[in-house]
Structure 1
């Protein structure tokens, strides 16, 4: 599969226009010529160790969740580690794609993974979760449906003509059924993501336009959940440690709360989520994110909300495995071998 086709298909699941305006997402390093991609290394952070791993595995592409080029580079020298990485990627002819907050805005991606882990149900799908719990984004996307909903059934590996027209040369897919909302611009592609993920991941028929509405409130930055049956706070802590494969988390009990307190509602935001989660302090029992400052934790505590901190990338890395499974199950990137990095890890440790 050509690099351009890989990028188009990755953008299908999470359109880059869903990313925060301050972010730097998409194809950050492009190979010297249009080339076939049959091995992709996936990591949370691109480091020299990760790049060496990609070279050793003969990968043509790296999907790095975090963009390793964030601020503009005024020069490329070997004096700075990020500049060295850019040079080495180019010399190794390895392309780099970073989705970052475009993944955060899609409800079944990073943040849902944290919620499922907290509940102790990592294999639960979004549809079943919506049936049993109230789930909504902290900052919902506003999206007006334009055009009409087109249901297409495919056989084998080929799009029919209407789907081919909508995706403008996306190519072939092995998906046998999904829903498409035809929009005038990609920033109105939330419905595409919604219907595609709900229908394929949950193995149910796509939603209708009426059922979908004009802007589902569980897409956007951060997620909040209201549980039908409360969980013990200590159980949530243990679930997070177990299902995110962590030796430890940092924890602060909310004012007048303990590890034995009931958790009826909680909110999550992958990475550094204080600015997103501050709007729910005092209205949820617990918040889960990667990192917060000392004063941000105090604000949560004395608003009566407990805090679980996993360290920044630990809240994100586990999702790479689920993403790999999704891509393979729906054959989004046929003939591409996705490899999870074994050298990528959070830089912080405890002794």
Structure 2
């Protein structure tokens, strides 16, 4: 049975999302953000007159996450990554599992909103959360977006972050801080120094970008000691290492997932919604 909420209820959810992560912050040149599936009804039905809004948060909207939303009686999914990407010209569930998932969601009346780069760009968004994880938000003397949003004067609204610390932190300490903040047991580090000397390799300036940092790091105008992101190409990692820099990569969505639990969950609870964070959502790559 469909558990679709009314248009007024869904409009309220969208207003809550865009209050924190305005649509104008999203990079529409390539990103597909916003309300991608609208299953709302014009008004409550006699068969289902008292449906309450229940939101599921996820980074990626996979088949298992969609089933989780069905089982948990959710009627809105906020999926950080765009579910329809880059675009669909038709639905073909027998050849594309995402299309099968879309049909299931529509059948159950579950709407989908995807904020993605609006969350990346926002003040207090995922990139600021990553900065905080470097050293619990302490001793940061300078931080600004590497790529600003057009028309915005706040230098903390934009993609990626340049961070300067008030005092040096050892690479060993940063590695421990990152793993603790992301709640993952392993990360990848490229450094000219051997791990046994990381406690003496001091970091002062850092370039940060959630997800894939390659394009955003090209906007960097200052020298840094460390590049911290989810993923980067082999040749880019090699280049920075050869230049005496350090690179930390953690798998793409591992740099984003904890933000749902640590920040977004509380924000939307405070807006009055019942909110659950997906337990089925995980990075497709596993370190073994």
TM-score by length of 1: 0.72
Quick check: 1:268 aligned with 2:208? yes
Equivalence for 2:166 = 228
Quick check: 1:100 aligned with 2:116? yes
Equivalence for 1:250 = 188
Deviation at 1:254, TM superposition (A): 5.0
CA offsets 1:31-78 (integer angstroms, 9 cap, x no match): 151465521000010011111111111001100000110122121122
Q: Could you tell me which of 77, 95, 112 is aligned with 1:62?
A: 77
Q: Could you tell me which of 34, 54, 75 is aligned with 1:26?
A: 34
CA shift in 2, pair 1:295/1:276, >3 Å: same
In structure 1, how many angstroms separate the alpha carbons of the residues matched to 2:204 and 2:249? 19
- Higher mean alpha-carbon deviation, 243-252 vs 67-76, is at 67-76
In structure 1, how many angstroms separate the alpha carbons of the residues matched to 2:239 and 2:36? 37
SS in 1 for 2:218: helix
Q: Could you tell me which of 198, 212, 233 is aligned with 1:293?
A: 233
TM-score by length of 2: 0.88
Tell me if structure 1 keeps the 8 A contact 2:168–2:203. Answer: yes
CA offsets 1:200-254 (integer angstroms, 9 cap, x no match): xxxxxxxxxxxxxxx1212101011111111001110111111211010011015
Deviation at 1:280, TM superposition (A): 3.5
In structure 2, how many angstroms separate the alpha carbons of the residues matched to 1:303 and 1:99? 36
Equivalence for 1:135 = 143
Deviation at 1:141, TM superposition (A): 2.7
Tell me if structure 2 keeps the 8 A contact 1:255–1:305. Answer: no
Equivalence for 1:315 = 255
SS in 2 for 1:271: strand
Tell me if structure 2 keeps the 8 A contact 1:256–1:304. Answer: no
SS in 2 for 1:307: strand
Equivalence for 1:325 = 266
Runs of 4+ in structure 1 off by over 3 angstroms are: 34-37, 254-258, 278-282
Quick check: 1:349 aligned with 2:286? yes
SS in 2 for 1:50: helix
In structure 2, how many angstroms separate the alpha carbons of the residues matched to 1:283 and 1:68? 36
In structure 2, how many angstroms separate the alpha carbons of the residues matched to 1:142 and 1:93? 36
SS in 2 for 1:31: coil
Equivalence for 2:4 = none
In structure 2, how many angstroms separate the alpha carbons of the residues matched to 1:58 and 1:254? 51
In structure 2, how many angstroms separate the alpha carbons of the residues matched to 1:282 and 1:254? 20
Equivalence for 2:217 = 277
Tell me if structure 1 keeps the 8 A contact 2:260–2:277. Answer: yes
Tell me if structure 1 keeps the 8 A contact 2:16–2:268. Answer: no
Gaps of 5+ in 2: 1-7, 45-50
In structure 2, how many angstroms separate the alpha carbons of the residues matched to 1:276 and 1:338? 32
Equivalence for 1:84 = 100
In structure 1, how many angstroms separate the alpha carbons of the residues matched to 2:40 and 2:144? 43
In structure 1, how many angstroms separate the alpha carbons of the residues matched to 2:193 and 2:30? 34
SS in 1 for 2:77: strand
CA offsets 1:127-186 (integer angstroms, 9 cap, x no match): xx6x8511111112343xxxxxxxxxxxxxxxxxxxxxxxxxxxxxxxxxxxxxxxxxxx
Gaps of 5+ in 1: 144-189, 191-214
Tell me if structure 2 keeps the 8 A contact 1:105–1:222. Answer: yes
SS in 2 for 1:46: coil
Q: Could you tell me which of 44, 49, 56 is aligned with 1:41?
A: 56
